Each structure stands twice: as structure tokens, then as C-alpha cells.
Structure 1
Amino acid sequence: MNAARINIRESGIYIAFGLIVALFAVLTDGALLQPQNISNIIVQNSYVLILAIGMILIIIAGHIDLSVGSVVGVTGAIAAVLMVKHDVPWPLALLITVLAGAAIGAWQGFWIAYFGIPAFIVTLAGMLLFRALTLTVLGNQGIGPFPDPVRTLANGFTEGYLGNIGLGPLGGADLTSLLIGLFAVGGIAVSQWRSRVARLDYDQAVEPLPLFVLKIVGASAAVLFVVVQLARFKNLPWVLVLLAGLVLGYSLLTSRAVFGRQIYAIGGNLQAAVLSGVKARSVVFWIFVNMGVLASVAGIIFAGRLNLAGPTAGNTFELDAIAAAFIGGAAVQGGVGKVIGAVTGGLIMGVINNGMSLIGAPSENVMLVKGAVLLAAVAFDVWTKRRAGAAAR
């Protein structure tokens, strides 16, 4: 019973994602899963997924960041002014933009970690301050176009280095993309197996072996399906390569690194973490610096995709990132959450947006469904906690 309950808590988001994809695949007569549409979902939601990675760390630590949308806007504006108006070489301009994002995160992290102002207040103020700064930097007008390398990062695709191969009724597909997909599947299997063995070594509950194998096979099949569809279109989007690197790096950070364990410790029980020697202020400071860096990356991607830095860039992005984290399994009280869960939550929002657009649903219905999904995700988290508490008593 304990193993089953853990499986429901950890795997519910992935089951829900599969059901939502299946539902919209039926409602759109398969249009949702066409190669070009899958590519569009990834490219159009890449900046939200990047923000969700940083947001999940902040929520795990028991905080919130309402300013990320405005930071996306101001960093995109900084990049545009540097590259378009002042002809700064694009690598240097991107470095300066990322450093500006880090400085913004450090500014907010200082007030939260060392001055003791609640993150809600500091980042709410930041949402207003950095939106005003965006308008000031841009002169309340759009700036573009961006250099080709920046637009390629946001909208471009990897080259077919090894040529195409036949896939029977599926047609041709890029061999390089397929090999990357197979490598990713192998990495998933090895990582999950090592995690299972480690939990067994510590006498922790794990799901039955047949269920574990089924989970790996399902995840591998989903990854390979997406890769094959992308390889049939224009190969892998560069933003997907960037996202894959971020997901891998931050997953290792949260699961293997001391700093990642300290984030969970602070969110789970701050006083116990401090008594255990965790430098809570330093950890909180750096997760906000990290959020600023990721928001600047998202700002560059978003501006590059539109080929324009505009005054309204990033509006409501903070809500999408927060929703992605909570739908992906983050706990309201902190201490719980996974990077891959937040990315899955962001993809759920993206599939809902895309699927309802394909069936011609009005915008108010889209907002209605997204709100209901968010409420259901948080309600599920509260319900599982109460159920676990009742079982413990």
C-alpha cells in the first residue's frame, strides 16, 4: 500500500499528461500529434518551460517569484538595445544580458534572504519596477530585428548531419535526431534504475518491478515518438536541445548535489535545516540569482522568436511558470517538487492552449480549463497529504 501510494503521488502528473494528450489527439483528429504541431508546441512554450525550471526551485524552498515576467521583458529589452542600437557583437550582448538577469536576481535575493522581506512583497515590487524599466529601456516602442544566430537559437533547427533514413509508413527522418533520441532513452532507463537501486539500498519503498518496467517503457516510447515526429519535420529545435540540457543539469542538481538537498531541507523544515548547518540565507539568495539568470535566457529566447523586443513582452509569464510548477507536483508549503514535473506541468498548459486552439475554442474557455487544471492539481496535492497524515495516525 505504501509503495502504491508513493507511485500515485509521483506518477499522477504523467498519467494526467498522457490522458490530456490522448483527449486532444482525439478531439483534433490527430492534428495535435502531427510533426509540425509538436514542434510548434515545444518552440512556442520554451520560455515558459525555462522559467518553470527556476520557479520550481524557489517554490520548493517555500518562496514565490512574481517578477519573472517583467524580468523577461527587461532582459529582452537590454539584449535588443545592445545588439540592434549599439551593434554589440551578439555573444557579448547575450553575456551582458545574462549578467543583468543575475544582478536582478541578486537584488531581489538580498532583500528576501538578508533583509527578511517576504518574497511575495519583494517580487511584487520587482514586477512593477522591472516593467517600468522595460518601458524606459525600449522608449516604449519595439526594437528589432535580432541577428540571425539569436533567431536561430529561438526558432531554428539542428542540421541533418548524418542524412535521412527510411521509417516505412512514417517516411524519412533525420538519423542524428534518432540517435539523440535513443541516447536520451538509454539515459532515462539507466538513471531510473540507479535511483531504484539506491532506494532499495536504504530500505525505501519502491514500486513493483513490473510497474517500474512499464513506467520506463512508457516514458521511452513517448520520448521516441516525439523525436521521430520532430525528425520527420525539421529535426530537433535548438531550444529543445537547450531545454534538455537545463532539465538534465537541474535534475542532477536537485537529486545529487548538496545544494539541491539544502533547497529541499529549507522548504521542508527551515528551523531543522538551520540547526543542521544549512546556510539558509545563502541558499535562498542564490536560488533567486538563478531565477534571474533563467529569466534572462527566457527573455532572449522570447525576443528572438518574435524577432522583436516589445514593451509588453513577458506579461503574465509569471502566472504560467507558477502554474506549471504547481501542476507539476510542487507543494504549496514547499519541500516537494521535481524539475521534470515542472516541465511536464508547463507542457500540459501548452497542450491545452494548442489543443483548444486547434478545435477553435474561444479564449475564455481556454482560461477556464487552465484554471480548473491548476485547482485540481493543488487539490490533489492537499488530498494526498491529508490521506498520508490520516494513515500515519
Structure 2
Amino acid sequence: MEQSKEINAINNESWRDKLKSMNLQLLVMAGAILFIMLFFSIMTDWSYLTPRNISNLFRQTAITGILAIGMVFVIISGEIDLSVGSMMGLLGGCAAIMDVWFGLPLPLTIAITLTAGFLLGAWNGWWVAYRKVPSFIVTLAGMLAFRGILIGITDGTTVAPTSEAMSLIGQSYLPNLFSLILGTACLALYFGWQKKQNINRAQYNLPTSTTGASLLKSSFIGIAVLSLILVLNNYRGVPTPVLLLTIFLIGGTILASKTRFGRRIYAIGGNIDAARLSGINVEKTKLKVYAMNGFLVAIAGLILSSRLGAGSPSAGNIAELDAIAACVIGGASMAGGVGTVIGAVIGAFIMASLDNGMSMMDVPTFWQYVVKGAILLLAVWMDSATKQRR
């Protein structure tokens, strides 16, 4: 009996430590976002916070965010993917070629692009998982090869203009009333799910949030979501890419925290030998992670080509660095086993905010690279420092 109480106390303490760490991380990222918003607003005479620019900012976030969702699973599994930028450019270029040169129907273009992304991701995963080639080398080779193929099939020229149907993916907006109804419905489902989670935790004597804390959290989330929808509606509405990002954010979060596959990814990244001894098929799981990542890269490629209205040989250049930086800023550890989907998306928003703000200030391109490189280095250093303290 006493031993059981000790185990429960240890588990509760571990849960509280994780909760404190997560809350601290979210507070730091929220503080960083507020600072970035305030700084660029002052420097641009508050034009940074206009509904039009906020809409543009969230559309920029959508592409990096979707890439980061796939990347964070790869990083959690203890691997890396340097090819996502070139793969996104290649898949987006292929979609533009099918649309402009061959005039294929949009559903067929989407289906072929998504299938190609899945297969290219699985190709990377096969080399990493079954041939035991380091992921850094495999994806570095992919980065070079995919970029070369893109330049070859486009003959180094821009493929444009894409059709009106194609533009719906990256340039369309949701109707205002539909956005409000959808946002309210999603909030209601989320609050219901949270309540059910608290009831389940209480049944097993696990720690739960107090009524006041839950109410405060729910109020903050509800006000933030509805305010954002109203701001976006004040321009042209919620951009379709933002809706896609939200869908993959919710799906990725459920996959990571509520499924057996998600737990296996964390186990492999945390301790691959222990995961293998516990009966997890490490190779098959890693192959699935890379295939899923390739599928999400294809989504991002379609949005990019649709938004640009063209397929460009330089599309997606160094986008992999933005995705990796977003994951690290969001709390993912390059050593594997640590990271969240929501953290990766928040990191993507921070990276997009910096890009957007520096572009509005006409900061030279070389300084933009310097700033983003410094932020990536700082984020990795903070992760290392935190690990040493533990």
C-alpha cells in the first residue's frame, strides 16, 4: 500500500514537472510573439497589425506550419529531413506543369501530387530505416536531387499562369458567416472534449485543473479564436490555407498524443533500443513517419504553387531551415523524443512574423538570413542548456 502511494506521488510529481515545463515554454513563446508584434508595429507605424497584413501573415504561416508539422514527427523520432524545401518545390512544380502544360482536372492534379509526395517521403524513409543510411546524408542527397529534377523538368523557367481552379487552394477565402459558425462549433467540441478529459482523469485520481483555471483557459482560447476570425473577416475572410493548417494541426495533435502510433514515435526518439526491446517495429514506424512527412510536403507544395500562381525552379529554397527552426523554437529536441505539434506551429508563426516584419521594414535579405540563423542557434542552445539542467 505504501509502495503504491509512493509510485503515485512520483507519477504526480513527474506530471507536474512536465506541466510546468510546458506552461513555461508556452509563456516564453507567447512573450516572444507579443514582443515581435509590438516591435514591428512601432517600426511600421502600426501597419503591421492591419487586417490585410495579418491575413497575409497567417497565409505565410500556413506553408511553414504544414512543413513543421511533418518535420516535428521526424525530429521526435530522432531523425532529420533536409529535403523538404526542394521536395516542396518539385511537387509544386509538377502540380503547375500538370495544370498549365497538360490541363489536367484539379482533383487529378491533387491526387497525383499527394501520391508523389507520399512515395518520395517513403523513399527517404526506406533508406533511413531499412538501409541504415544516416538521415542527414539521405535527405541531403534528396535536397540536391529534387532540386536538380525540378530545374530539369521546368527547363529552368517559371511555369505560369496556373488556372483559376488551381488558385482556389492558396488564394481563396472562406465566407465570413461560415468561418464564425465553424469556429464556434470547433470551440464547442474542444471545450466538451476538455471537460470529458477532466472527468476521466478525476475517475482515476489523476491531477486535474481547478474550475477557475479551466474557465480562465477556456475563456482565453475562445476570445482569441473568435477575435482572430473577426479580424480576418474584416479583410476578406479566413484564408483557405489557414483552414488546412488548422485541420492538420488538430489531426497531428491527436495523432501525437492519443494514438499508439504517436506514442511509438516518442518511444523511438527517446530510446531506440528500449523501443525495439518493447516490441516496436522501429523500421516500419520510421518509414511511416517519412511517408507522412512527404504527404504534408505535397500539401504545402500545392498551396505554394497556387499562391504564387506558378511553379518556379527556386520555389521552396531553404524552406527546410524554416521548418527545422520552427520545430526547435517550438520546443522540439534535436536529440529526439521531445516536441509537440502545437509548439511547431507556434514556432512557424514566429518565423513567419519575423519574415513578414523584416520585409515590411525593407531589411536587406542578408540581414534576414543572419537574424533567422541567430534565432535558430539560440533555440538549440536553450534546448541543450535545459537538457543539462535536467
Residues 24-173 of structure 1 mapped to structure 2, 5 A cutoff:
24-159=40-175
2:319 is aligned to: 317
Given the superposition, is the C-alpha separation of residues 270 and 196 from structure 1 closer, same or farther in structure 2, using an over 3 Å criterion?
farther
In 2, distance between residues paired with 1:27 and 1:196? 44
In 2, distance between residues paired with 1:46 and 1:203? 39
> Structure 2, unaligned stretches of length 5 or more?
1-15
Given the superposition, is the C-alpha separation of residues 263 and 121 from structure 1 closer, same or farther in structure 2, using an over 3 Å criterion?
same
CA positional deviation for 1:312: 0.9
CA positional deviation for 1:212: 4.9
Residues 1-393 of structure 1 mapped to structure 2, 5 A cutoff:
2=17, 4-159=20-175, 174-195=176-197, 210-387=212-389, 389=390
Given the superposition, is the C-alpha separation of residues 208 and 361 from structure 1 closer, same or farther in structure 2, using an over 3 Å criterion?
farther
Asked if the contact 2:51–2:231 (Cα under 8 Å) also holds between the matched residues in 1, the reply is yes
CA positional deviation for 1:47: 1.6
Given the superposition, is the C-alpha separation of residues 72 and 279 from structure 1 closer, same or farther in structure 2, using an over 3 Å criterion?
same
Aligned-residue CA RMSD in angstroms? 2.2
> Structure 1, unaligned stretches of length 5 or more?
160-173
In 1, distance between residues paired with 2:186 and 2:38? 23
In 2, distance between residues paired with 1:193 and 1:329? 27
TM-score between both structures, scaled by the size of structure 1: 0.88
Given the superposition, is the C-alpha separation of residues 347 and 359 from structure 1 closer, same or farther in structure 2, using an over 3 Å criterion?
same
In 1, distance between residues paired with 2:282 and 2:333? 19
Given the superposition, is the C-alpha separation of residues 77 and 364 from structure 1 closer, same or farther in structure 2, using an over 3 Å criterion?
closer
Asked if the contact 1:90–1:147 (Cα under 8 Å) also holds between the matched residues in 2, the reply is no
Whichever residue aligns with residue 80 of structure 2, its letter is I
**What whole-Å deviation, never above 9, does each CA across 1:329-376 have from its counterpart, x for those lacking one?**
101211111111111100001111112233343334333332333233
Asked if the contact 1:38–1:226 (Cα under 8 Å) also holds between the matched residues in 2, the reply is no
Whichever residue aligns with residue 53 of structure 1, its letter is I
Asked if the contact 1:4–1:207 (Cα under 8 Å) also holds between the matched residues in 2, the reply is no
In 1, distance between residues paired with 2:355 and 2:211? 36
Whichever residue aligns with residue 183 of structure 2, its letter is G
CA positional deviation for 1:200: 5.8
Task: Say which is worse superposed, 139-148 or 111-120, in terms of deviation.
Answer: 139-148
Asked if the contact 1:67–1:123 (Cα under 8 Å) also holds between the matched residues in 2, the reply is yes
What is the total number of aligned residue pairs between the two structures?
A: 374
**What whole-Å deviation, never above 9, does each CA across 1:217-245 have from its counterpart, x for those lacking one?**
33333222211111111111111111111
Asked if the contact 1:7–1:207 (Cα under 8 Å) also holds between the matched residues in 2, the reply is no
Whichever residue aligns with residue 174 of structure 2, its letter is T
TM-score between both structures, scaled by the size of structure 2: 0.89
Task: Say which is worse superposed, 59-68 or 212-221, in terms of deviation.
Answer: 212-221
**What whole-Å deviation, never above 9, does each CA across 1:244-284 have from its counterpart, x for those lacking one?**
11111111111111111111111111111111111110010
